[in-house]
Amino acid sequence: MPSKQQSCDHTFKCNHSTESIHSCVSSVPIFNHLEKEQMAEIMDMVQSLIYKKGEILYHAGDPSDSLSIVNKGKIKIYRLSESGKEQLIRILHPGDFTGELALFTETIHEAYAEAMLETHVCIIKRADLHTLLLRYPTISFKILAEFAARLEQSEKQTTNLATEKVEKRIALYLIECLGEGKYLKQPQEIKLPMTKKDLASYLGTTPETISRKLSDFEEQGYIEQKPQNKMKIWGHALAELTR
């Protein structure tokens, strides 16, 4: 089965517009610190693809031979257990990337990547990436910084799954969504970046448990649920549950 990254067929579209490729290169943190001439050089190496909602970018076991950068849309990275249960690993937003292990070795993907809505992706092959890393070492530092951030998040998630009750896991996640305003006493409104089903997969529980615990939080005055996956959160109060 030919890779989607190698050909264009009826299931998805190639997007070769200069505007699309420039937007991708200029928005991703590993490239946007470079000079315009350097980014122009990278643009010549990039292929831009469009995936439909629900379309799989790669499967577990597929060769990992390129870096995929999200320009527009959203991608979920997940694994499947032997029973077929989905374990969400992370969600990629514009500027995020996947396939970074292709930088260092010939390997295969250990997870699945699926477009959560129509998603524009920029692809850079391994050989071109090696050329860029040798020419512009600062890119390597940016990628290593992303590795470090992902490792920290992965360790935090693993620890929470192993040691914390589901109520605390949900509270910690909601507080994390608040960012810098997590301990403000006034409420803040956020839009959850994933569905309750995906959140349950990410936190190692069930959608029913998520719904029940969020209702409990609402009754206790920690949150107020709103339509379209929006929520008002009293971060200062909710933080008490995590202590």
Query: What are the CB-based long-range contacts (under 8 Å, 24+) for 222-231?
Result: 222/171, 223/174, 224/187, 226/189, 228/191, 229/191, 229/192, 229/195, 230/189, 230/190, 230/191, 230/192, 231/174, 231/189, 231/190, 231/191, 231/192
Task: Render each residue's pLDDT in the chain as its tens digit; 243 residues.
Answer: 333 334 454 344 555 556 777 777 887 778 888 888 888 888 888 888 999 999 999 999 999 989 898 989 999 999 998 888 899 999 999 889 898 777 777 889 999 999 999 999 999 998 898 888 888 888 888 888 888 888 888 888 888 888 899 999 999 999 999 987 777 889 999 999 899 999 999 999 999 999 999 999 999 999 999 999 999 999 988 988 888
Can you give the pTM of this predicted structure?
Answer: 0.79
